[in-house]
Structure 1
């Protein structure tokens, strides 16, 4: 089983071929295919290849399937004691659903 650990918007995700992953919103139209070049680690037939910080000769091709998938609500609560100051805010982050098409190795 081949897999890659890829950096997407500051977060690292384990990507496996033909699997779906929810990642932070990617500003590409749904249905488009893009290449990810920030591959931190790649495993082929159980042999790991580590980058320093990224692997130069490996990239991952993905397809953006869907946008505007909202996550769980995140609550932001600020308070200063003995001052009567309280602020409660919250938001729901937007995710994109992607599918890994293939891993490409440059030689």
Structure 2
């Protein structure tokens, strides 16, 4: 039996005991996770297509480990404009193994998850109102206006807050911003800015390339 299921915004064709690399999941390593947005089920000549999902169908998996994908370099240039930007990006991934494919009778426990996320959405919307006196995060090499706005929506409005945020977490927050962004040096840059070490920060930024060391 195989299934086509949506996991972390992407669709995968999976079978039992198959290992799959998906966008980073919030589930801890070694924990089990289930996905009920099953779009298609195939068992020999029998194929069931959802509208759009199949009621009661579920794919169970186990998170093996969290990792980063291969580095991708994106270079942009505008002729006769003196515009050259080079960025690197490593996608945050999770390796999972498919443990079961259930055609019907799955418990709809996953529906409780979106309700837990609702308060976080409200908190994000409230954050920009408090960020009117925040720091100019665009002073960090690699951060532009759109990324600064996205960080503010997530409640990160000061250099001190950015310095305490893990680079992998920052990548998750700005995942929806177009382009490939290297966040590895952002917390350290923000730490120097928060401490007022502008000369040291400027000297280091001269050695960076789009935020990449």
What is the TM-score of this pair, normalised by structure 2?
Answer: 0.47
Runs (4 or more) in structure 1 with deviation over 3 Å come to none
Higher relative contact order (CA 8 A, sep 6+): 1
- Quote the residue 2:174 is aligned against: none
How far off is 1:45 after superposition? 2.7
Q: Does 1:64 align with 2:60?
A: no
Range that drifts further, 49-58 or 70-79: 70-79
| Structure with the larger strand share | 1
Q: Secondary structure at the match of 1:79?
A: strand
Q: Which runs of 5+ in 1 are unaligned?
A: none
Match of 1:82 in 2: 80
The residue aligned with 1:43 is 42
Looking at structure 2, the residues matched to 27 and 20 of structure 1 have their Cα atoms a distance apart, in angstroms, of 18
Task: Give how far 1:46 is off.
Answer: 2.8
For residues 37 and 27 of structure 1, the distance between their equivalents in structure 2, rounded to whole angstroms, comes to 16
State how many pairs are aligned: 105
Structure 2: gaps of 5 or more residues: 107-213
TM-score in terms of structure 1 length: 0.89
Instruction: Give 1 or 2 for the bigger CA radius of gyration.
Output: 2
- 1:63-98 Cα offsets, whole Å, 9 max, x none, are 111111x22222222222211110000111121111
Q: Work out which of the residue numbers 89, 92, 107 in structure 2 matches 1:91.
A: 89
For residues 31-83 of structure 1, the C-alpha deviation after alignment (integer angstroms, 9 at most, x for no partner) is 11111011111112331111121111201111111111x22222222222211
- Whole-Å separation in 2 of the counterparts to 1:27 and 1:21: 16
CA displacement 1:7-54 (0-9 Å, x = unmatched)? 112211111001211111111101111110111111123311111211
Structure 1 CA distance, aligned partners of 2:82 and 2:70? 29
RMSD between aligned alpha carbons? 1.4
